[in-house]
Amino acid sequence: MGEDQRKNPRNKTYAKVILADSGTLGYLRDLSREGCQIAFIGDPSVENGTVVSVDVLPAEEMNIPRFSMEVQIMWTRNDPVYYLAGGLITSTPNQEGLEQLFEYYA
């Protein structure tokens, strides 16, 4: 593993996600102001450098509305259970939902 070069610490998070283009399901992990890690169930067929749209579905009891965000994929890795992808958050049309998720896991 390379040296961690993040500027902001990541919070451990948990929220279901759906990759908009393919409908691939997964879970949002390790969220920071700049980026995140997503653990997909199955190969989402994403490549480094591409920007993907992800729908984030926080747990109902969190009272955070569903929101979308654009993520530029920076790396991918196969795990025994998940297909992992990490990237930069490039756009969030509903910034309020993302802010509420940050607050919930702070």
Q: How confident is the model at residue 63 (pLDDT cuts 50, 70, 90)?
A: very high
- Give the confidence band of 4 by pLDDT, cuts at 50, 70, 90: very low
The tokens 């929220």 sit on which residue?
Answer: 15
84 near 39, Cβ under 8 Å?
yes
Collapse the DSSP code of 103 into the 3-class scheme (helix H, G, I; strand E, B; otherwise coil) and give the result.
Answer: helix
Report which of 40, 21, 19 is spatially closest to residue 29, judged by C-alpha positions: 40
Q: Which residue has the tokens 């998720």?
A: 101
Residue 9, pLDDT score: 53
Instruction: State residue 31's pLDDT score.
Output: 87
CATH class, range 15-105? mainly beta
5-60 confidence digits (pLDDT tens): 545 555 567 789 999 999 999 999 888 888 999 999 989 999 999 999 999 999 88
Closest CA to 88 of 20, 4, 6: 6
**The pLDDT of residue 73 is above 80:** yes
The DSSP code for 50 is -
Q: What are the residue ranges spanned by the domains of the chain?
A: 15-105
Q: What is the four-CA torsion angle of 13, 79, 91, 64, rounded to 10 degrees?
A: -30
Q: Does the structure show a pLDDT above 60 at 2?
A: no
C-alpha span between 40 and 93 (Å, rounded): 22
Q: What local confidence, expressed as pLDDT, does residue 90 receive?
A: 94
